[in-house]
Amino acid sequence: MEITFVNKNPTTTLILGHARAAAMVAISVKNIPIYEYEPNRVKKILTGAGHADKTAVDKMVRILLPAATPKTPDESDAIAIALAHANTTRFEKFIK
């Protein structure tokens, strides 16, 4: 899950907070661990640049998963978070 950043619009921030809370409750009810990543960390893991734009993230998603066909930047971001998590947890197993 991506860590929430502060929006300029308080209404948008509140709605996003509600959506995150609902997702977290639904996940925790099934005893699934929740991992959070900062947007810049996801971008750094995927593209090598923490301030990469959405086009660069989408391009890397398509390179790493050629069968993936995200239709929106949000879909591409979700896949990017999953890829970053898979990459991060894979290396944590070797460190322990």
**Containing structural domain, residue 62:** 37-96
What pLDDT, on a 0 to 100 scale, did the predictor assign at position 1? 76
The number of distinct structural domains making up the chain is 2
Select the more confidently predicted residue: 3 or 15. Answer: 15
pLDDT digits (tens, 9 = 90+) for 21-51: 999 999 999 998 888 899 999 999 999 988 9
Do 4 and 49 lie in one domain? The reply is no
pLDDT band at 76 (very low <50, low <70, confident <90, very high): very high
Predicted confidence (pLDDT) at residue 83 exceeds the cutoff of 90: yes
Q: What is the dihedral of CA 27, 28, 33, 35, to 10 degrees?
A: 70
Q: Is the pLDDT higher at 67 or at 16? A: 67
**C-alpha–C-alpha distance, residues 4 and 25, integer Å:** 16
Task: Evaluate if residue 96 carries a pLDDT over 70.
Answer: no
Q: Say if residue 17 is in the same domain as residue 2.
A: yes
**From CA 90, how far away is CA 12, in angstroms rounded?**
34
Task: Give the global pTM.
Answer: 0.76
More confident: 90 or 78: 78
What is residue 24's predicted lDDT score, i.e. its pLDDT? 92
Do residue 60 and residue 72 come from a single domain? yes
